[in-house]
Amino acid sequence: MTHTVAKMNGKIVEVIRVAETVQFSPERGWVCICPHVGDVNSNAIKWVRMQDQRFEWVRKFSFTNCIA
């Protein structure tokens, strides 16, 4: 499985989705993030505006089941 991970404002987060528009705001440029990489069922998922964040890097990682 591939995850998009970013370092944003000094924290590592998973990027769930990027959207130009969302239904709850007339403003443009949104990113849905989860601070718990790999746990998209977390209730910590939130939408943030791209222009209000500082992204140091964004990368895609492939994770495989590493549990023996």
More confident residue, 67 or 1: 1
pLDDT, tens digit (0-9, with 9 covering 90-100), for 9-25: 888 999 999 999 999 99
Check residue 1 and give its pLDDT: 72
Helix (H) or strand (E) holding 58: strand 55-62
- Judged by DSSP in three states, 43 sits in coil
pLDDT of residue 66: 57
Q: What's the average model confidence in pLDDT over 39-52?
A: 84
What is the per-residue pLDDT for 39?
72
